[in-house]
Chain A
Amino acid sequence: MGKLLGVVLVIIALVSAYPILKNQYPLPEDISTHGHLIDEQLHDTMVEAGISFIGAQLVLAFFVWSFTGRKPGSPLKNLPGGARALVIVAFVIVGMEVLALGAFGQKAWASVYFTPAKADSLQIQAQAEQFAFYFRYAGPDGKFGMIHPEKIDEGNQNYFGLDPENDVAARDDIVSGELVIPVNREIHLMLHGKDVGHSFFVRELRIQQDFVPGLDLSVHFTATKTGKYEIVCTQLCGLGHYNMKAYLNVMSQADYDNWFKQQSAQ
């Protein structure tokens, strides 16, 4: 039965690796300027993890095959080099992997989090609530109105709690259920949580960031391809969590300008 386990282990290792090697489950297309860094990092990790996975399973399979069902009294042997060699191998090889992934792998993280948004980036505020996203643009005046939580009124579509009567900056703010952005321009997205925790995730953008109530966070990114992409909530937020979606609509600059004009006119 030990031999059978050896065979099964080999089959498991190969069958598990096959879909990855054939790229049957590819990541969605990357449409961001920074995403390729994440994809490359993931690819490199997949190579290292894949080799470790297949290697360990095959060694386990081989040893189980070789050292079960031996004749009684077969001489016991010890691995040449013993524990000391294995500890050194673990320290050197895994330590190098750790250093490599730990040090070089931070480029992608840094590009998202350690560089401030450019001064000319387009500022948009995203608000997450049970179970919808709303997006707010500053309008032609370039200024956002203040948020007054007590004025939030879903019935009157005052999702952000704006006070246009007393707040001049709020009067021309544009509120949209869809995140419309121009292509190839940096977007500075400011995240505001209205009720509980949510998260903003666009797979193709390689951007995911939690909304934390009470903490206004921001991310910045540049989309490189026009089209419509799904925005999903990835932080469990209540009964409608699975259905909390919106769309990212990446347009050419001209189309975006038109859209913006139309919205401002309303």
Chain B
Amino acid sequence: MSETSAQPAHVHAPPEGFWRKYVFSLDHKVIGKQYYALALVAVFTGMFLSWLMRIHLVWPAAKIPGLELMSKAGAPGGIMTPEYYLSLLTMHGTLMVFFVLTNAPFAAFGNYFLPIQVGAEDMAFPRFNMMSFWLTFLAWVVLMLAFVIPDGPPIAGWTEYTPLSAIGKDAGPGMQWGASLWGISIAIFCAASLLGALNFIATTLDLRTKGMTLMRMPLCTWAWFITSCIALLAFAVLLPACILLILDRHAGTSFFIPGGLVASDRLQPHSGGSPLLWQHLFWFFGHPEVYIAILPSMGIVSHILTNSMRKPLLSAKVVIYSMMSIGFLSYMVWGHHMFLSGMNPMSALAFSFPTLTITIPATILTLIWLGSLYGANIQINSASLFALGFISMFVSGGVSGFFLAQPSIDIYLHATYFVVGHFHMVMGVASLFGVFTGTYFWFPKMTGRYMNEGLGKLHFWITFIGTYCIFMPFHYLGLVGNIRRYQSFVDDFMAPYIPLHKFITIAALITGAAQFIFLYNLIYSRFWGKPAPENPWNATSLEWSIPSPPPWNNFGDKHPVVYHDPYQYGVKGSGGDFVMQDSPEPVTGNGD
């Protein structure tokens, strides 16, 4: 374990010319920024779609200006049709899960900082790295094409349950070509993610610099590494699943379609397939995907919170082992999405138990974060506010998982807004809080400039309170039995809850609007932000030992040598209360 590669990283020449420098770049830092930019476009698109859905839900007759331009058939006269609502819902979920929650915390930050944090010059396979980004980009283009084809985007939700997604145009609008584009897009995305995951794993294992033992890696690097291992196994299952789906749709196979189906008054020309097979394959990917989204943020928050606290976490080792356990257990729980799917009811118990067990490492992580705050000297800035907000959000989203992990309670809460509230909080918002934490913290390193703190704090307050206003009421709605994925509430049963839905919509509009503060801050600070020194946060890991922004080969011609773990805070160092990883000075004053 303690052996590290003394070999110099592969040496490549400095990039020359516009295309090699900024477009088809082999530099992991440029690729990281490309991922970030793509995630930014996707997250604003996804958010915009959620605005449209929320507005339509509470004001179904509202004419939304410009909506007709998006789709004439989907919004005649600017009023959304039921099927277009489902199209937007499908695209919102797909964009957010794949192109935001996988790309931003994992691919973007991981690409930029993992090589630097282990002391490498680049990723192990820079060409694969470039390929994985451009394949991801292609996947995004293919998905977005669904908006412009006459058929429109698919209406089967981001889970694309079969046979709805497999039988083609008889299933409804968007299911002829829209669903095919979805399948192709996600298949490409899987291939890209596999390449990325391999690269992360190889880089972590092979390119660590001298002295960088595994246990001396920063917690975010650990998180990216564990996430890569999860991604490698998860996307490797979704990729063939998507291919089988495409074959069912276009090659006449019947992997997911049983015989005797009559849809749109037509006996379907299929037999022998199983809809449950798709669900098993999809969720075998889908549940680990939740951890692909949240683990990097756990790592980022652990890493940055330590810096803000000016003292180490109670135990970085426990954090690492907890993240590993979560990663391991994430493969045994996919069936909890399928308690009511008709699979053997005995297996519900088998899936319920490991699901409840995940609570243990998740609780350990939470207690370590909370317990470490005790006696700290917490520095409040935009980054640490979001890190603290992450803990709050992770707890809130986590406890609702306790309900859904139990099959008996799932009989009632399954497919209600309770589920929507749960996963938005824990996998969506918490994960994005990790991304915001990382952005405010690492921006000076990536650009050489600070982000504006005032705007950052304003962004935090609106986002933090706003997301609670949006997603906490979702749980209440779930308790009264509000079903998800309905484009309107056509009965009296829901009438008393329309005001609550209106409150949620207004909160969503305000919280969404606050994200433009972030976007403005990002763009403004990139060009006109206050210049930042090399190590503005008095941080210890290797990225802070090199200039901001880092040169193309990270460490110049040197190979850093690492002497300490990355959490030497609250000690007597020559530069202050910290000792950097590559500083040979002995550490004193670290009582515990």
Contacts and interface: CB of A to CB of B under 8 A. Distances in A.
Interface of A: 1-2, 5, 8-9, 12, 16, 19-20, 24-28, 37-38, 41-42, 45-46, 48-50, 52-53, 56-57, 59-60, 63-64, 67-70, 74-79, 82-83, 86-87, 89-91, 94-95, 97-98, 101-102, 105-109, 112-114, 129-130, 147, 149-150, 152, 154, 161, 194-197, 199, 201, 203, 206-210, 212-215, 217, 230, 232, 234-243, 245
A213 B370 contact: no
Interface of B: 81-83, 86, 155-157, 161-164, 167, 170-173, 257-265, 267, 273-276, 309-311, 314-315, 318, 340-342, 345, 348-349, 352-353, 356-357, 359-360, 363-364, 366-368, 370-380, 385, 388, 391-392, 395-396, 399-400, 402-403, 405-409, 411-416, 457, 464-465, 468, 472, 476-477, 479-481, 483, 485-491, 493, 570, 591-592
A107 to B, nearest CB: 7
B259 A214 contact: yes
A68 B385 CA distance: 11
Contact of A213 (B261, B371, B457, B591): B261
Contact of A236 (B164, B392, B465): B164
A239 B88 CA distance: 12
B486 A48 contact: no
A130 B592 CA distance: 65
Contacts of B273: 214
B483 A26 contact: no
B523 to A, nearest CB: 25
B588 to A, nearest CB: 14
B262 A194 contact: yes
Contacts of B162: 197
B168 to A, nearest CB: 12
B360 A94 contact: yes
A53 B475 CA distance: 14
B412 A25 contact: no
10 contacts: A25-B477, A56-B370, A60-B388, A79-B314, A83-B314, A86-B364, A94-B359, A97-B402, A101-B406, A109-B348
A63 B491 contact: no
Nearest to A237: B164
Given A27-B479, A87-B318, A241 B86 contact: yes
B216 to A, nearest CB: 18
A76 B376 contact: yes
Contacts of A235: 161, 415
Nearest to A43: B409
Contacts of B275: 197, 212-215
Contacts of B352: 102
A245 B481 CA distance: 14
A209 B481 contact: no
A67 B378 contact: yes
Contacts of A208: 340, 411-412, 414-415
